[in-house]
Copies of this chain bind each other. A is one copy, B any other.
Amino acid sequence: MNCLRTEEALSPLNLSDRSDKVRSQISKSEAVVVMDPSNVQWMTGFTGSNGTIYIDHERFVLITDQRYQEQGPLQIMQSRSTAELSISKNSIEDLSKLAGRKTIKLDSNQVTWATAVRLGEILAGEIVPSDPLSGLRALKDQCEIDRISLAAKIVDHALKDTIPLFSQKVSEMEVATHLDNKIREYGASESAYKTIVASGVNSSKPHAQPSEKQIEQGDLLIIDVGAVVDGYRSDMTRTFVIGKPTDLQENYLGVVLEAQQEGIRILEPDMPCAEIDRRCRTIIEEAGWGSSFIHGTGHGVGLDIHESPAINSQSKEKLLTGMVVTIEPGIYFTDSCGVRWEDLYEITETGARQLTLSGKSPQA
């Protein structure tokens, strides 16, 4: 075992400012109710399956059930959250007592229709669809960036250890298992999502699942993999050629890399996300493969693998210092093959810092 987690001096997470951050988004007559697990973790450190947060300018309460009567207080303390804990059999009733006649902001993209209806019935105040946390979570503090960066480093090491397999007789599934194991050995709690290992014709599916297919000479091989450290995720894609690349394969790889570099070049605060997408897309369109670039250019990464900001043609967001985003153009040819390059960047005051450091030599 060669655990990177213990070698790195990660300073403990400090969530003591999170309540003030949320309060800065609401008036005295308003409150926020948070039910999404990642939002609950961001505010309190709590990772249980059942957590509801109520916050206004006086109270900041995490409501959970008896199963978490030990874990709840421990995680609040360890993360230096200022939340009070309430162990309850009925969190909705608890909310009605806490809220009084306040207007409740509720993330309409996270809460279910049934919960919204139930809260509407039971609360004296009005519920309004509003999501103050998504914008706050997009701006990472140093402790968060350290964890994402370590998750990226763990994947760099795990991938390096896995590359020698490609030239042996292995299946996509065996490569995925090897990567996932290495990721845990290096100190991540788990992989950040279902690791994609897609070879040959399977690489033409952007979200392929690893299969029993053997990796063969002549294949393009897409590896899309991330790790989790203290809940924070990394995200990276590399494309390899097994054996000597053909001219066409080199052309695919080169054009997508050029598109990615064009996007990376303009990463800086205040840059419109839609402009990054446009720049990457233009390069691929000029090569004649515009209709094969069938997804957005990137997304924010943090406690969720996809979070604010979205980097696509419809995005209204701009980059800000402290955001962590992927840049991942790709092209996919039905029944043939695909290519994708993806890296993770921290937006800094002067530009961007690359967090995923694996090489881009396509030859395994």
Q: Which residues of A contact B (CB under 8 A)?
A: 47-49, 65-71, 106, 108-117, 129, 173, 177, 181, 184, 189-190, 194, 204-209, 294-295, 334-335
Contact = CB atoms under 8 A, between A and B. Distances in A.
A206 B67 contact: yes
A295 B108 contact: no
B181 A190 contact: no
A67 B295 contact: yes
A69 B108 contact: no
Given A47-B209, A67-B207, 19 more contacts: A66-B294, A66-B295, A67-B205, A68-B207, A69-B294, A69-B334, A70-B205, A71-B207, A71-B208, A109-B112, A109-B113, A110-B112, A112-B112, A112-B113, A113-B115, A113-B116, A114-B129, A177-B184, A189-B209
Given A70-B334, A207-B48, A112 B114 contact: no
Nearest to A306: B49
Contacts of A66: 294-295
Contacts of A194: 190
A311 to B, nearest CB: 16
A111 B110 CA distance: 9
A257 B117 CA distance: 41
A106 to B, nearest CB: 7
